[in-house]
Structure 1
Amino acid sequence: MLEPAVVSPGVVDAHCHAASRRFIPRSFVEGAIRNITVMHEALGVPVQPGRLVDRALEALGDHGCDELVRQMDEAGVDWSVLLLPDFTYRLKDCELTIEEMFVEHRRILERHPGRFQVLAGVDPRWGRDGLALFERGLKEYGFRGLKLYPPCGYRADDHLLYPFYELCAAWNVPVLLHMGPTSSNLDFEPARPGCVDEPARLFPKVNFILAHAATAHVDECAMLCAFRPNVYADVSGFQEGARSEGRGLSHLLRSAPAHKLLFGTDWPVFQEDARQAEHLESFLEVAREVLAGPRLRLVLRENASRLFRGR
């Protein structure tokens, strides 16, 4: 059971996605499945990649986030940050345009009042039209920040992004960037934490959040969190380590300052492994050994409340 003194008045999940195939292109899933296929083939296990992709996409039918909200309630999660990456410039098999995805995420906000904050992504190569769409998301849709996906082929320090950062500074909203490896159909090199160093220095009023604590670059991520006042990280993606020996998560929690870390699950990536309540409990089993109560509350709720709700 969760300790009320630790989680009250509720946990914030700072890294979720709508579990909907309407927002995730098939080619993205195909790239993720390819590594599973290679592993099975090496072990001599027969595998049909197309069927694995079909199965993964069939599981992405929670278009309105109803199941996510049910699991949030079960886990004691007060509200979650819903992230919308823009794959549409790089991957051309998306069901919806990025404009249509913005509208759908506004509908999710309306469907579940108070349960989500949306950070919406726009590929900077869409130019002025993309910037106008992002601003419309802030002004008209109630979105609360920018979600960037550098593996689509751009870096965080690309000057095309600077007008977006200026908007974030004007609206006092954060930027969350995917860091580390992803689908094998995308680029890994741009998703390194060092790319955030220059924009974090040039835009001191903008808070930058490194998703997944940069995965394979945890030490560099922890360094930036410690020495750049406006760089943070979320712990999403560390569930598997927490559910086994927990060494990777423990190292992260010991390396990065607690006031710079945010709890997150990366729903729906691990939905077949465990329910959200189990992921939270697994995290707490490791975190309680490293963080005292006040510092744990920072990670579970208070840091996210400051960044996304200004309190």
Structure 2
Amino acid sequence: MRQLSTSGAAAGRTARKMIIDAHAHLFDAGYFPPAWHDRTAQRWAKAVYPPRDPADIRPNIERGFVDKDGSILMAELDRAGIDAAVCLTLDWALVVDDLSGVSPAEMMQHYAKIAEMYPGRFYAFAGIDPRRPDGLEVYERSVREWGMRGLKLYPPCGYFPYDDVCLPFYEKSLELGVPVVIHTAMVSWPMNGRFAHPTGVADVQSRYPDLEIIFAHSGYPLWAEEAIHTAAGHPNS
């Protein structure tokens, strides 16, 4: 795995071990497709009693996510005494069949600019649904040209981590020398949790023993034991 370099603003922290938040997110407007906001509004509206009108909730959802220049994230890191964060790109377009939002390539180019703004404090992983026709090409560019440090896969969007469509991404990760983060925890609608069980990673481990695999969320809370044992049985998980 590539080492996270400590330069610029991080120079003063090299005398001690850095504290890194290895699972963060940062969003701008359009990073979630409109259909995702629609469905989330429906779910959140029914999560309270009496139920609310989704139309009243919908306008506020995206507003609460947006952190265009990363300043909110940096303030949170400072408040918690954390040196740096690793942002995991999310590509949720296909699960709601809505490609009208910001593309993964645009997100990752944005993250590359954020990394330049906060040297030594902000890093990012690529995030691409492997079913996208141009996904593998975009992934390689994201690492070679935009500085992404690895790959984040989100199987609850509708595929298993061992599906054939994922295999070229693992092989490319080995070629690039970067790790793969795989979501392994229960999720909410419109995602499908059956694709996220941590034992689904076992086939990937068996096929690619040299691939560095990170179990996002470590199966918590339902599958923590399964995630621990699945990871422990592999030399690079």
- TM-score interval w.r.t. the shorter chain? 0.7 to 0.9
Picking from 55, 65, 69, the partner of 1:60 is 65
* Conserved? CA contact 2:212–2:236, under 8 Å: yes
**Aligned-partner Cα distance in 1 for 2:34–2:218:** 26
**Aligned-partner Cα distance in 2 for 1:110–1:22:** 22
The yes-or-no answer on 1:14 pairing with 2:16 is no
* Conserved? CA contact 1:25–1:93, under 8 Å: yes
* Conserved? CA contact 2:218–2:224, under 8 Å: yes
In structure 2, relative to structure 1, the CA distance for the partners of 1:229 and 1:34 (3 Å cut) is: farther
Tell me the CA shift for residue 142 of structure 1.
0.9
Alignment partner, residue 151 of structure 2: 146
Residue type of the alignment partner of 1:228 = H
Deviations for 1:109-130, whole angstroms, at most 9, x for unmatched residues? 2222221221111211124x21
Picking from 74, 77, 80, the partner of 1:69 is 74
* Conserved? CA contact 1:32–1:182, under 8 Å: no
> Which consecutive residues of structure 2, in runs of 5 or more, have no partner in the other structure?
1-15
Picking from 164, 173, 176, the partner of 2:169 is 164
Q: What do you get for the CA RMSD once the two structures are aligned?
A: 1.9
Picking from 20, 34, 46, the partner of 1:38 is 46
TM-score of the superposed pair, with normalisation by structure 1? 0.66
Tell me the CA shift for residue 134 of structure 1.
0.4
Alignment partner, residue 179 of structure 1: 184
* Conserved? CA contact 1:19–1:63, under 8 Å: yes
The yes-or-no answer on 1:192 pairing with 2:197 is yes
Picking from 28, 32, 40, the partner of 1:24 is 32
Tell me the CA shift for residue 108 of structure 1.
1.5
**Aligned-partner Cα distance in 2 for 1:151–1:210:** 14
**Aligned-partner Cα distance in 1 for 2:122–2:152:** 14
Highest relative contact order (Cα 8 Å, sep 6+), 1 or 2? 1
Residue type of the alignment partner of 1:68 = L
The count of aligned residue pairs is 220
Alignment partner, residue 111 of structure 2: 105
> Which consecutive residues of structure 1, in runs of 5 or more, have no partner in the other structure?
1-7, 232-311
**Aligned-partner Cα distance in 1 for 2:196–2:29:** 24
* Conserved? CA contact 2:95–2:190, under 8 Å: no
- Identical residues among aligned pairs (%): 31
The yes-or-no answer on 1:214 pairing with 2:219 is yes
Tell me the CA shift for residue 174 of structure 1.
1.0
* Conserved? CA contact 1:153–1:187, under 8 Å: yes
Picking from 123, 131, 154, the partner of 2:129 is 123
Tell me the CA shift for residue 160 of structure 1.
1.5
Tell me the CA shift for residue 74 of structure 1.
2.1
**Aligned-partner Cα distance in 2 for 1:51–1:181:** 27
Alignment partner, residue 134 of structure 1: 139
In structure 2, relative to structure 1, the CA distance for the partners of 1:30 and 1:183 (3 Å cut) is: farther
More helix by share: 1
Tell me the CA shift for residue 171 of structure 1.
2.0
In structure 2, relative to structure 1, the CA distance for the partners of 1:171 and 1:139 (3 Å cut) is: same
Residue type of the alignment partner of 1:220 = E
Q: How does 1:87-102 map to 2 (within 5 A)?
A: 87-91=92-96, 92=98, 94-102=100-108
Deviations for 1:72-116, whole angstroms, at most 9, x for unmatched residues? 122221111101021233331542122222221222222222212
In structure 2, relative to structure 1, the CA distance for the partners of 1:206 and 1:52 (3 Å cut) is: same
In structure 2, relative to structure 1, the CA distance for the partners of 1:79 and 1:141 (3 Å cut) is: same
Deviations for 1:240-267, whole angstroms, at most 9, x for unmatched residues? xxxxxxxxxxxxxxxxxxxxxxxxxxxx
Residue type of the alignment partner of 1:178 = H
**Aligned-partner Cα distance in 1 for 2:37–2:227:** 26
The yes-or-no answer on 1:229 pairing with 2:235 is yes
Tell me the CA shift for residue 60 of structure 1.
1.9
Q: How does 1:233-248 map to 2 (within 5 A)?
A: none
**Aligned-partner Cα distance in 2 for 1:33–1:177:** 26
Bigger Cα displacement from structure 2, 67-76 vs 95-104? 95-104
